[in-house]
Amino acid sequence: MGLPLGYVFSTTTSPQSTGAPQAGQAREYQIGFTLPLSGELSSIGKIWEKVVYLALDDLNNEVKAYGFNVTFKPVILDDGTQDDKALANVQSFAQMGIKVVIGPAASSQVKAVKSFADANHIVIISPSSTAPTLAIPNDFIFRTVGSDAKQAKALATLAYTQGARTVVVFHRNDEYGNAFADFFTRYFSQFNNTKVYDLPYQAGLSDYTSEVNALASKVQSTGADSVVLIAFDTDAANILAHAAGNSVLSSVRWFLSEGPHGAQELLSPTIGQFAQKTRLLGTRPLFVHNPLYDEFAKKLKEKYGVEPTVFCDTLYDAVQLAGWAILRAGKYDGDAIRAALVEVAKHYYGPSGWTMFDENGDKAFQDYGVWAIVKTDQGYQFMDVGMVQGDSVIFTTTPYR
């Protein structure tokens, strides 16, 4: 009885299990991942899990090719797209001695973990949090995607150039939605003869029938010609499915943020037809003309049978940055890794392009693409149809005829 118990205790309490390497052996580093494997972002969260495994395979192969006797292992926890669970996960990682955590996905979750991460010197790299309110210098939060202050401008430009003049901004009432809506309103209002009406909705519901009915009333009473939807994937799918059955909402233009991009639920016949009818367009962070992105997308499809969705490229690059930063730091320490991360990011070019950070730890250079839901022989598909450059939109293809 004593021997097996002793073996169990020795292996579970060895330094190797806390994330730090054991002297004299091949070094193993643990990277924590807090992912939305359930909840509102689960649609893309499940794909992200595949990206994590792909990224770690590539990272481990790359470091071996450089002669490092090192292995990076993931510790993946589901945060259910909830703020408190994300915090609990980061706290669990801290107890395990993990100093680098990738995720969480939502800006409200990043906000929830920030204080703990800063106090405990845990480097947080979010591949998808974009709220401008979290662009704060000298903290332990890094984001491999540009702040939504820029995307809001891109979306405002897209909507205006497409003829929108009176817009209802229908957005999640959370960190992400409120900040995005605020910046969108600021930029859109700068154009001539425009009006913007703000309509937040409570996030986290399983159904948005009442909210969509309220939106229809608002569109009708204000005479709006467009709706701007700032949402995640499952709420967007629910909202668009209900909007498809509403005659008022089916007769205005729709413009979306990046959140719903890639969610398979949006490719149903109901939403696909609605997209054609309303000539639905969206913006998303995109580094155009990047052969590394094409290579990454091909590998993901071949190995796991899935297409990359929004932020898969930034997640992949977050993993690479984390690994190389740990190696460059020379020690498994939060402060050293943070300093190393900034330097590594200056020289790293990946599927999401250049990853250099600005003074706030956010991606310094970000392009925005325009996406649509188009009808093909295989059904409805997401397609990148153009990009936003300055005050104009360049379409590379005509999505709707």
379-389: strand order across its sheet: 195-201, 166-172, 226-230, 253-256, 281-285, 368-376, 379-389, 392-395
3-state DSSP assignment of residue 372: strand
Q: Report in angstroms how near the CB of residue 302 gets to another protein at its nearest.
A: 12
| Residue with Cβ nearer another protein (92 or 273) | 273
* Token pair recorded at residue 115: 């204080």
List, in order, residues 6 or more apart from 223 with CB less than 8 Å away: 166
Q: Report in angstroms how near the CB of residue 317 gets to another protein at its nearest.
A: 22
Q: Report in angstroms how near the CB of residue 374 gets to another protein at its nearest.
A: 16
| Residue with Cβ nearer another protein (71 or 268) | 268
3-state DSSP assignment of residue 166: strand
Q: Report in angstroms how near the CB of residue 367 gets to another protein at its nearest.
A: 27
Determine the Cα–Cα distance for residues 141 and 122; give it in Å rounded to an integer.
9
**168 in Cβ contact with 227 (< 8 Å):** yes
| Residue with Cβ nearer another protein (24 or 305) | 305
Q: Report in angstroms how near the CB of residue 246 gets to another protein at its nearest.
A: 6
| Residue with Cβ nearer another protein (38 or 381) | 38
| Residue with Cβ nearer another protein (145 or 216) | 216
Residues that bind another protein (CB under 8 A): 37-39, 42-43, 45-47, 173, 200-202, 205-207, 209-211, 213-214, 216-217, 220-221, 233-242, 245-248, 263-271, 304-306
Q: Report in angstroms how near the CB of residue 251 gets to another protein at its nearest.
A: 13
* Token pair recorded at residue 303: 């190995």
Number of other residues whose CB lies within 10 A of the CB of residue 210 = 12
Determine the Cα–Cα distance for residues 295 and 301; give it in Å rounded to an integer.
10
| Residue with Cβ nearer another protein (89 or 360) | 89
Q: Which residues pair with 283 in a beta bridge?
A: 370
